[in-house]
Amino acid sequence: MTFARIALVIAALSAAAFWFLRDPAAPPGPTAEQALPDLLTQVYRAYALEDEAAIFDALSQAATGDVVTDLYLQRRAAQVADQAEDGQTQILSVEVYDTEMLADPNHVRAAWRVVGRVTHAAHVHERINLYSADLALARTDDGWRLADFVLTQADRDAAIEFEGGE
């Protein structure tokens, strides 16, 4: 038997063993907890878009049902507030720093940090906002989506200031 055939037989046996030893109840892919950082990042990336239809479409890739509309309306309210303050916000990073699985495996209590740069006419500052929420995630054919979102804390603090223009 040639080396190539031996390697092929070993690969086939390994795949068969993996198939039979896997947990059939476990769905493929990441868990809800593992998917959460990417979903939150998708939400904030959607917020960075300018076209209203593009924002709504991008939010639809991270959320489902009424959560899409709720997130979209929250963004519109933030845009109105930014315009009233003559400011613009740029998201620099989103970091999930604590998660706890709740009784249902698709429910996660999470805390995350959002670092952004706020530009006003006279100055620029970076802001760190801390949030926590109880989240329900739903597995769809296209992956996980936020299905429910109950904000439990929002700490908006201009924590990092620096002088400068633009």
What does the pLDDT read at residue 156? Answer: 79
The CA-based dihedral angle spanning residues 78, 135, 44, 145, taken in that order and rounded to the nearest 10 degrees: -120
The pLDDT tens digits for 5-27 are 554 445 555 554 554 444 445 55
Separation in Å, CA 125 to CA 30, 38, 117: 36, 26, 6
Q: How far apart are alpha carbons 125 and 115 in whole angstroms?
A: 11
In three-state secondary structure terms, 142 is coil
Q: How far apart are alpha carbons 148 and 135 in whole angstroms?
A: 6
Do the domain assignments include residue 3?
no
What does the pLDDT read at residue 166? Answer: 43
What does the pLDDT read at residue 103? Answer: 87
Give mean pLDDT, residues 137-165: 78
Do the domain assignments include residue 22?
no
Band of pLDDT at residue 62, cut at 50, 70 and 90 = very high
Do the domain assignments include residue 1?
no
Higher per-residue confidence, 41 vs 88: 41
The CATH number that applies at residue 37 is 3.10.450.50
In three-state secondary structure terms, 73 is helix
What does the pLDDT read at residue 80? Answer: 65
Do the domain assignments include residue 18?
no
Buried b (16+ CB within 10 A) or exposed e, 99-115: beeeeeebbbebbbebb
User: Which segments of 37-142 are extended strands (E)?
Assistant: 87-101, 107-120, 124-140
Do the domain assignments include residue 42?
yes
Residues in the chain: 166
Do the domain assignments include residue 140?
yes
Do the domain assignments include residue 20?
no
What does the pLDDT read at residue 81? Answer: 62
Cβ pair 116, 89 in contact under 8 A = yes
Do the domain assignments include residue 79?
yes
What does the pLDDT read at residue 161? Answer: 47
How many structural domains comprise the chain?
A: 1
Q: How far apart are alpha carbons 8 and 159 in whole angstroms?
A: 58
Say if residue 85's pLDDT is above 70: no
